[in-house]
Structure 1
Amino acid sequence: MDMEKIEQAFMLINENIEHIEKTLDTDFYDAFVEQNAAFLGSVNLVNTKSPTSAEDLLAALTKNNDRLRALNLNKKEWQKLFQFVLLKGSQVAPMQPNHSFTPDSIATLFQFMIESLHSDHKLRILEMGSGTGNLGEYLLVNLNREIDYVGFEVDDLLLDLSASISEVIGTEATFMQVDAVQSQLMEAVDVVIADLPIGFYPDIQTAQTFQVGLKEGHTFAHHLMIEEAMKYLKESGFAIFLAPSDLLTSSQAPQLKEWLTHHAHLAAVVTLPEGLFKHDSKAIYLIKKTATDNNPTFVYPIDQFTDRERIQDFMNAFQKNVK
């Protein structure tokens, strides 16, 4: 991976996004989508203030995008570049916490778990709440597998952003605008992944149809999504979730743990460094679609990502204890 080329590409894309923001009077993420469209040859300039400003913008975008193409980035470089652009966006135009992108440090652990537990060359993955698409794109360009990927996302802007990023990178990804709690008809998958949105699900009646649903009041949306995920998995499948570290100790944990006892197996819990996330403390949960697995839950604390020996110890322990 050529970091110098990625840095050059970042400057070009950032300059184009700033041009679009100013000329179209729009925000960072809409401008990001427009930049991707311009790179692909279909920019929309109908909202410019004048024909002259539209011509100036098109000329500036074309010049920078020609230079961007000349860098000839590969898929891994594109993915890394887009993570840096999303990071810049999080600094200048912070999204609500549930819309924040999943960093590569977390995606690397997802990749490791999938590769450790699934040896088949072909792999069908569903991401529930695909958001900006960074987690899915990381897996698409780094997993040494033939991937059939589907992402569920309800938010218009995030859907446009993730789809445009995928198109620029050149990955084969399908995105569907759906509420991930609502059941969809689709082929069963090998793996479900999700950086779970945190909060209460607004539709009480729908939530009450779930076994983890409360009989009174609002149920946590992330609990509903965990139960829903099992419906899409093959019998041999598993799910990997990034979720609150208090998932199993919160006020609604008894309902979730009761459901787990009868319908799934919590195979692993990997706690993550304090302060890694601005708003919440989180952990990674590996859940298998089986209630007959009697192996104890593998629990491992990762204190920091910069300690390579610690990360290698985790990988060795995971492969030894999680089958």
Structure 2
Amino acid sequence: MMTPVERLFTVLDETAQILQEELQCTYLEAVAETGENLFHGDVLQDEVSELNAKRLKKQYRELVLDRFQNEEIRKAFQLAALKGMRQHVQPHHQMTPDAVSLFLAYLVRRFTRPHLALTILDPAVGTANLLTAVLNGLSGKQAKSYGVDVDDLLVKLAYVNANLQKHAVQLFNQDSLRPLFVEPADVVVCDLPVGYYPDDDNASRFALKAEEGRSYAHHLLIEQSLRYTKDGGYLFFLIPNTLFSSPQAQQLNTFLKETAIVQGVLQLPLSMFQHEQAAKSVFILQKKGPMAKPPKNVLLAELPRFSNKTAMQAMMAKIEAWIANEKGS
């Protein structure tokens, strides 16, 4: 017996393979096309042969989307996107691991408990896997969300992913370090793309531009995110563990002292990463503002393996105690 996630993935996978052949495109492009078809319950591509159009329509008809939960849709779509990314590996086509997305969703929910309505921004939205995981964790709150990405295929996948889950996400296909057409957010979530930023002219608009040579894109993205966060708003970043030992770390430290309050640093288990130098942490910031207070103690922890339930429960209890003590909620 298939689980709902397996059933939905099987349909996405089989129909994407038909479209890949018919449209002469990559599997990843075909996932975006079949997701769009599934949402409309029809075959939208004129190039598809009559026989295959019938086969596709039959599969779409037999799958009633309303019977699936959002998390099931998100996970199935993520599996199809991951399959496509493995076939065409590009360094910026990296998806946030599922356990990490769910953990970030939990943190956002806990830190924003008093809010009834939220505006959320992901300035490197990718396929919207992380953003929709966070939105799925905020049931009962009104959430307005924005996603930005420079890669047009990823933005199309994000659009389809959000549609299938019925999330009204406003998406922008642009360089995230250019001026954004979004309102200031209560929350920023971002798996920071790590590397150098190629546009030196644009980098010169930032306080965190390199004093010499190329600027770090991930540093500029932290600064850009703070620009578009409301006073007192929270930012949840996935950062490389080397963030504070890199050549431009001193500049970043000085900037953060002036603009933000560090709430926590939670190191992800090293076992999640193939190489230690690729390891990441969750970095929680709050933008300075009249109501924002520094914590008595910054939340610092090394997270156990997510599969270790006992250790994970103990860690969650520690985080809950910290939130109750620091935030009173």
How far residue 75 of structure 1 moved from its aligned partner, in angstroms, is 1.9
Number of paired residues?
316
Structure-to-structure mapping, 1:251-266, within 5 angstroms = 251-266=247-262
CA deviation profile, 1:303-323 (whole Å, cap 9, x unmatched): 311112222222222233353
CA distance in structure 2 between the partners assigned to 1:172 and 1:18 by the alignment: 28
How far residue 105 of structure 1 moved from its aligned partner, in angstroms, is 0.7
* Residues 303 and 33 of structure 1, relative CA distance in 2, 3 Å threshold: same
Which stretches in structure 2 are left out of the alignment for 5+ residues?
none
C-alpha contact 2:146 2:182 (8 A) present in aligned 1: no
Q: 2:198 aligns with which of 187, 202, 215?
A: 202
CA deviation profile, 1:227-284 (whole Å, cap 9, x unmatched): 1111111112010001111111111111111111111122111111224245721111
C-alpha contact 1:150 1:173 (8 A) present in aligned 2: yes
CA distance in structure 2 between the partners assigned to 1:26 and 1:97 by the alignment: 20
CA distance in structure 2 between the partners assigned to 1:71 and 1:318 by the alignment: 35
Please name the residue that 2:45 is paired with: 45
Please name the residue that 2:7 is paired with: 8
Please name the residue that 2:103 is paired with: 109
How far residue 13 of structure 1 moved from its aligned partner, in angstroms, is 1.5
CA distance in structure 2 between the partners assigned to 1:274 and 1:234 by the alignment: 33
Please name the residue that 2:236 is paired with: 240
Given the alignment of the two structures, is residue 269 of structure 1 paired with residue 265 of structure 2, yes or no?
Answer: yes
Structure-to-structure mapping, 1:214-233, within 5 angstroms = 214-233=210-229
**295-304 or 130-139: which moved more?**
295-304
CA deviation profile, 1:87-124 (whole Å, cap 9, x unmatched): 33344x14323222222211112112112211212111
Structure-to-structure mapping, 1:1-323, within 5 angstroms = 4-39=3-38, 40-41=40-41, 43-47=43-47, 54-69=49-64, 72-91=67-86, 93-119=87-113, 120-144=115-139, 145-278=141-274, 280-290=278-288, 293=294, 295-322=296-323, 323=326
CA distance in structure 1 between the partners assigned to 2:35 and 2:313 by the alignment: 37
The letter for the 2-side match of 1:156 is: D
CA distance in structure 2 between the partners assigned to 1:264 and 1:295 by the alignment: 15
CA distance in structure 1 between the partners assigned to 2:314 and 2:304 by the alignment: 12
CA distance in structure 2 between the partners assigned to 1:96 and 1:251 by the alignment: 26
* Residues 147 and 255 of structure 1, relative CA distance in 2, 3 Å threshold: same
The letter for the 1-side match of 2:234 is: F
Calculate percent identity across the aligned residue pairs. Answer: 28
* Residues 143 and 219 of structure 1, relative CA distance in 2, 3 Å threshold: same
The letter for the 2-side match of 1:9 is: L
How far residue 41 of structure 1 moved from its aligned partner, in angstroms, is 4.2
The letter for the 2-side match of 1:97 is: P
The letter for the 2-side match of 1:310 is: A
How far residue 86 of structure 1 moved from its aligned partner, in angstroms, is 2.4
Which stretches in structure 1 are left out of the alignment for 5+ residues?
49-53
